[in-house]
A and B are shown apart, each in its own frame.
Chain A
Amino acid sequence: MTTSLLEVRDLCVTFDTSRGPVRAVRAVAFSLAPAEVMGLVGESGSGKSVSCRALMRLLPPRGVRMSGVALFQGRDILALPEEELRDLRGTELAMIFQNPSSHLNPVMPVGDQIAEPVLVHEGASRRQARARAAELLRQVGIPDPDSQLDRYPHQFSGGMRQRVMIAAALACRPKLLIADEPTTALDVTVQAQILRLLLELRDRSGLAIVLISHNLGVIAQTCDSVSVMYGGRVVERGSKRDVLSRPHHPYTEALIRSQPESAPLGAPLPTIEGQPPAPSELPTGCAFHPRCPYAQPVCVEEAPPLEETQDGRRSACWRWPELAARSGVTP
């Protein structure tokens, strides 16, 4: 419908380990429009982090094989040579991570870290870059930015460090920001502040965001669309409202039901038996079948494709029509 900012098709990532190839990401597909906030939900081993690092080409150079197409503004970023990709990274495409402490240089003042992409990519002068850094600190809500430019990361609290990382990521005004669990390590009141900040930035500059999280509540509050991942695949995709209120995939349904707020007080939570599979031990056919209450023999043999269910929604389940016919899950 709208011209997509990012369109990912058939993304596959395989790690060559001592025990053989491990397919961490299998034929992942999703798309993102400008100023859209897409939530990427999944538990450990689902491949959500690996997919995004693959898009940014941040995976180790040896022992990893990638295939697929990722069209960013029409160009396949997976096929770009390294120098062209480096131009894109930091300018059009940016990423922030869960733990700001490990992604900020501890011996460099924050002002320099934010100014660096501006210096490198836009060839600005030191003074211009510094001015931009101060402006960015102000935008991300750090009070009295001029005095903060020369401080070091350890002098900031967790929430502040995350804001600094956001400022550095936004230095060259990217069109797409990938946020990998940006608030998981933060307190709940600070989490709300950071999520609010991200949405403000989207409103102000049309930034598109991929928000990776395992927390359905966070996704529900911030995202426009949702892609649910399990066993290296996208198993459901659609608007937030549709996916979270009337899921078309058993895993999504089970995930929603197992949230503590779903169950009446004191009653046991509906759980999913077993645990999320490690990428090296994926079941045959549909990866969810060992834990799925709707599993049938066909699910063991063949993995269902991600296909369109109803107006723009997609689900990878052989029995999606039955799920679609249900009245919905009460969150």
Chain B
Amino acid sequence: MSEPLLLAESLSVRFRRTTLASLIGRGRPDNVQAVADVHLAVGRGQSVGLVGESGCGKTTLGRALLRLIEPSAGRLMFDGRDLITLSESDLFAFRRRAQMVFQDPYGSLNPRLTVEETLSEVFSVHRLCPVSKIRERVRELMQRVGLSPDLSTRRPYSLSGGQCQRVGIARALAVGPELIIADEPVSALDVSIQAQILNLFETLQHDMRLSLLFISHDLGVVRHLCRMVAVMYLGRIVEFGPTEAVFESPRHPYTQALIAAMPRLDVEGSLPRRGLAGEPPSPVAVPPGCPFHPRCPEAMPVCRNDPVPEERVEGRVKVRCHLYPLPMHA
């Protein structure tokens, strides 16, 4: 099996907020462990879903993987090269190979620039083609994402949400990346438009052999689009494996709860009678031991005291849970 395109090992992101108290030596700075000890791999041409609820750190992780936020610990490799120690110029070159699509269709575009200006800027900054050819390339790009070329003189406020999102995707594609990290790209769109954009992702992925990390809170969408799925809770990946395997028999109690709570279009169905109590906690106050134990229906005494040290493999799925025994060493 070939090496993954993107590999994160023991990746952590911690935010420190220096408070006035800590500056004068009284009290410690606020530490928010947004991402803790994450192992994640995205293969070439593979689509990986990253799901979780608010506060789980999936957006922070997505940005850290592109070094938009600096990781505080761990290893990050892209195509075999260490990302964390990249020089300025190498980082610039990396930006041509991995891009991001954002959640808010309107917020992800500069309101003062037209579509043409937004897209041409990418070509000119990265010198992707001679200046005279930029217009043509922009047209091609717009067609590829399903935008009519006469929208090129419009500004975001006169475009629909779906159209804005297509511009965002076009902008990410302009550099010809091998990896796209999509952070909740369809959450802000109408249902019928969601389907169009999802199809677009699928087509692009297929035509361009793109690797895709698809971050979403919508399990239904991830199930449809991604071959692999990672479930995140409070900065940790609690389950990772082939989508069908995870959905058919989820191992981690949190994954089980998420799947049970998914609104299903089943006319005979009704709300599950019992579900997870409480709310997703804030990463400022992480419970000791396994962070899920306060809400976990299967919590054991060990869960309260010991954080789960490493992943256990159950079939093709990796889980971080005390319920699953560590592999026996021969």
Contacts and interface: CB of A to CB of B under 8 A. Distances in A.
Say if the two chains contact directly (CB < 8 Å). Answer: yes
Interface of A: 43-44, 157-160, 187-193, 195-196, 199, 214-218, 220-222, 240-241, 244-245, 254-256, 258-263, 265-266, 268-272, 275-276, 331
A62 to B, nearest CB: 25
Contacts of B194: 258
A216 B264 CA distance: 8
Given A268-B202, A275-B190, A190 B162 contact: no
B224 A191 contact: no
Contact of A196 (B268, B269, B271): B271
Q: Name the interface size band of chain B.
A: 35 or more
A188 B192 contact: no
Interface string B257-273: 11011111111111110
B275 A270 contact: no
Contact of A261 (B192, B203, B223): B223
B191 A221 contact: no
Contact of B192 (A187, A189, A263, A275): A275
Contact of B264 (A160, A190, A261, A263): A261
A195 B224 contact: no
B221 interface: yes
Contact of B224 (A192, A199, A218, A269): A269
Contacts of B260: 192
B207 interface: no
A221 B264 CA distance: 7
Contacts, number: 138
Given A258-B192, A263-B224, 17 more contacts: A43-B192, A158-B54, A159-B279, A188-B53, A191-B263, A196-B271, A217-B263, A217-B265, A241-B268, A255-B192, A259-B195, A260-B218, A265-B243, A268-B202, A269-B199, A276-B192, A331-B267
Contacts of A265: 223-224, 243-244
Interface in B256-309: 257-258, 260-272, 275-277, 279-280
Given A187-B280, A190-B279, A216 B191 contact: yes
B220 A195 contact: no
Contact of A256 (B265, B269, B280): B265
Given A192-B271, A199-B271, A275-B193, A268 B262 contact: no
B231 to A, nearest CB: 12
A268 B258 CA distance: 25
Interface in B191-245: 191-196, 198-199, 202-203, 217-221, 223-225, 243-244
Nearest to A263: B224
B160 interface: yes
Given A187-B280, A188-B258, A272-B192, A217 B220 contact: yes
Given A189-B257, A199-B271, A271 B262 contact: no
Given A254-B192, A261-B264, A271-B199, A188 B271 contact: no
Interface in B156-189: 160-162
